[in-house]
């Protein structure tokens, strides 16, 4: 399968423009966990998901689906299954972004005429997961451009089998993450990211710089945590990541994905 994701070039000449409304919007992104009691219209939702659909997609497979949940009782159940995260109930629309190879398999089947089909490969799982992530981030930016806010919810994978059954997800469909969507009730401060030099490498991976810049980030993250907590916490980023890596999380994922028909080859 081709891995081409066609996108327009941006040009790289010295002195080229580096500021725009889009970049400014992206640089202001924060996760929103408190929402106003204000609905998101069907027109807004359609525009946001439509913008998501225009994200790059591998070989035009468009291997994702989105479930928009607005029913209070269903949101409550999803919140419970996702780690009791109250903002899932509070937001007017909860989006469940799913990698979807079921639609691809079923649409293609009449044309195969008995030929083998490889929708169940690990490669196609990767393709579908990347596709849904790209579409969701397009949608997030579109939402923020309309004055709405979002927060991604990885907790939909906490009890993934139960949540998938609740939403009626068929074989070869799995929930990658959720997304709370609505009008922010407050503005959060910006969380600093790793230094650019930690993530941008030129003409090859610079392992030494990656580690050195992570150490630089420890100091940045400590300052941020001190200010955010009024001096109660100054844990460096590397220590937080060490704690995260030392805790087994969602160890059911491999068996779940295999049971859903993914990664058979």
- Give the tens place of pLDDT for each residue, 237-261: 999 999 999 999 999 999 999 999 9
**Which CATH code, of 3.40.109.10, 3.30.830.10, 3.40.50.12780, 3.30.70.1140, is assigned to 21-190+248-259?**
3.40.109.10
Mean pLDDT calculated for residue range 222-232: 92
- The owner of tokens 């009782």 is 73
Q: How many Cβ atoms are within 10 Å of 100's Cβ, its own excluded?
A: 23
Residue 14 pLDDT level (bands cut at 50, 70, 90) = low
Partners of 94 in the β-ladder: 69, 180
The structural domains of the chain, with segments of one domain joined by +, span 21-190+248-259, 193-234
- State the average pLDDT over residues 112-130: 96
Residue 187's pLDDT band (cuts 50, 70, 90): confident
Q: Which residues contact 52 (CB under 8 A, 6 or more apart)?
A: 66, 135, 136, 138, 139, 142
Lowest mean per-residue pLDDT among 107-116, 133-142, 160-169: 107-116
Task: Give the pair of three-digit tokens for residue 219.
Answer: 């100091």
For the chain, how many residues are written? 265
Predicted confidence at residue 13, as pLDDT, reads 52
Mean pLDDT of the chain: 93
């Amino acid at each position: 399968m081709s891995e081409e994701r066609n996108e327009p070039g941006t040009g790289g000449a010295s002195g080229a423009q580096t500021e725009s409304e889009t970049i400014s919007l992206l640089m202001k992104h924060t996760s929103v966990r408190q929402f106003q009691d204000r609905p998101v219209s069907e027109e807004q939702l359609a525009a946001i998901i439509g913008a998501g659909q225009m994200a790059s997609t591998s070989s035009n497979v468009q291997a994702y689906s989105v479930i928009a949940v607005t029913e209070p009782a269903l949101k409550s159940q999803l919140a419970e299954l996702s780690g009791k995260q109250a903002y899932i109930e509070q937001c007017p629309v909860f989006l469940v972004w799913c990698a979807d190879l079921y639609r691809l398999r079923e649409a293609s089947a009449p044309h195969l005429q008995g030929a083998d089909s490889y929708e169940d490969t690990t490669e196609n799982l990767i393709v579908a997961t990347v596709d849904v992530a790209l579409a969701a981030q397009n949608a997030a930016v579109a939402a923020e451009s309309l004055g709405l806010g979002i927060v991604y919810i990885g907790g939909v994978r906490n009890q993934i089998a139960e949540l998938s059954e609740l939403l009626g997800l068929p074989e070869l469909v799995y929930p990658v993450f959720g997304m709370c969507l609505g009008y922010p009730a407050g503005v959060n401060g910006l969380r600093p990211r790793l230094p650019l030099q930690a993530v941008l490498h030129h003409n090859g991976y610079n392992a030494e710089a990656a580690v050195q810049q992570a150490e630089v980030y420890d100091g940045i993250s400590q300052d941020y945590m001190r200010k955010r907590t009024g001096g109660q916490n100054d844990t460096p980023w590397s220590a937080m990541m060490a704690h995260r890596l030392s805790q087994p999380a969602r160890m059911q994922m491999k068996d779940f994905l295999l049971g859903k028909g993914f990664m058979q080859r």
